[in-house]
Amino acid sequence: MNIGILTFHFGYNYGGVLQAYALQKYLQSLNYKVEIINYIPPEYNEPSLLFGLSFKKPIETIKALSIKLFHQNESIKAFDSFRNKFMALTEKITDEKKLAEKANNYDTIIVGSDQIWNPSQHNKPIYFLNWYPLYKGKKISYAPCCAVNKIKNIDAENLKKALNDFSFISVRNKTTFDFVKYLTGKEPPIVLDPTFLWDFAEFNNNEPIIKGEYILTYILGSDIPGSNLKTIEKIKEIYGNMHVYAINIAAINPKKINWADKILYNISPDDWINLIANANFFYTDSFHGLIFALKYHTPFLAYYTEAARASRFIDLQERFDLKNAIIESYDDLPLPDKIDYELLFKNVESILIKEIESSKMYLNKALDNSY
């Protein structure tokens, strides 16, 4: 069986790249022929020096611009090199007509994971496999996310038609479950993000990039209410006065950081895994950052501020009983005796055993030609 994966694999974002890689590797381990369809939306532009910059705060903009001048090219290279070396990509496709032609090479197309069904995609056919002429093979969704369950009336009927044409639908969280149920009346299984399906042993068994003890941070959005500076100071007070290393993606929009001993601008996806796996403590607002902390039993504190991130964090919080380790503000910071990480990871592992099994069973059933 030839399988094409269609997802957000092309951005300068560790989670987006690694979820696509993990799904590819897991399917290859089942002896399927797999390619990631290298569709790049025509409106997507490679990051420029001005990409993501706001000119409302000139001083901060100048600082961010100077970081980009020194580090952006190397940051872009780190991501692109990983994709080219480790991911089975097709030729670059930038228009719907060529995508429709390429789709005919596959018996099955899997869309997902990541936020491929977010509101910005609702009036577009790509990640709903709803282009014309219609793809006639098997349509499967694996762990897509809609970010927020907001549907415009003008899009609802077309979305309903597209989703009902899928052979198998699964979703990544309760919010996307509600999105699918509202449109179709169906109750899709909630499965794990594909990064849980692969162990990444080819990367995490390497020598630690940073020797010695350290606190690692990876921040994508806004500061936590109460400030990241205060939170980092409290983490150091509780867990040890270690050096703080901050991963900051220079390819897109480097964040203002005034609390790190060293800022890492040019980290590749495989090195990102290494840094999380070997950290003594990890502070993040990244959904996939949190997932990799759970995978490698790295003590962590996660937070969310933006609505688009909330559903994913709340889902993990409820699924794995992480109520004290995921917070919304500095005032929610738990006391040292509130989190027993050894017990937390033991409980997570017991839940993961069942969830990984059910997620793999869904994929096996969906790919079985007898269905």
Give the pLDDT confidence score for residue 54 in this predicted structure.
64
Q: What is the DSSP-derived secondary structure letter of residue 339?
A: -
For 141, 147, 178, 313, the CA distances from 129, given in Å and listed in that order, are 10, 19, 20, 27
Q: For residue 2, give the 3-state DSSP assignment.
A: strand
Q: What confidence tens digit (pLDDT) does each residue in 144-189 have?
A: 999 999 999 999 999 999 999 999 999 999 999 999 999 999 999 9
Smallest Cα–Cα separation from 38: which of 59, 55, 24? 24
Homologous superfamily (CATH) for 2-46+86-197+356-367: Glycogen Phosphorylase B; (3.40.50.2000)
Give the pLDDT confidence score for residue 81 in this predicted structure.
97
Among 98-102, 306-310, 323-327, the minimum mean pLDDT is found in 306-310
> What percent of the chain is modeled with pLDDT above 90?
81
Question: At 315, which amino acid appears?
Answer: D
pTM: 0.94
**What's 304-336 look like in SS3?**
CCCHHHHHHHHHHHHHCCCCCCEECCHHHCCCH
Query: 201-353: which CATH architecture?
Result: 3-Layer(aba) Sandwich (3.40)
Q: What confidence tens digit (pLDDT) does each residue in 291-300 have?
A: 999 999 999 9
Domain boundaries, the chain: 2-46+86-197+356-367, 201-353
Joined tokens for residue 192: 């794990």
Q: Tell me whether the CATH fold assigned to 2-46+86-197+356-367 matches the one assigned to 201-353.
A: yes
For the cut 70, the answer to whether the pLDDT of residue 51 exceeds it is no
Q: What confidence tens digit (pLDDT) does each residue in 54-90 have?
A: 666 666 676 777 787 888 899 999 999 999 999 999 9
pLDDT mean across residues, the chain: 92
Rounded Cα distance between 52 and 11, Å, is: 13
As a whole number of Å, the CA-based R_g of the chain is 21
Joined tokens for residue 117: 């069904």
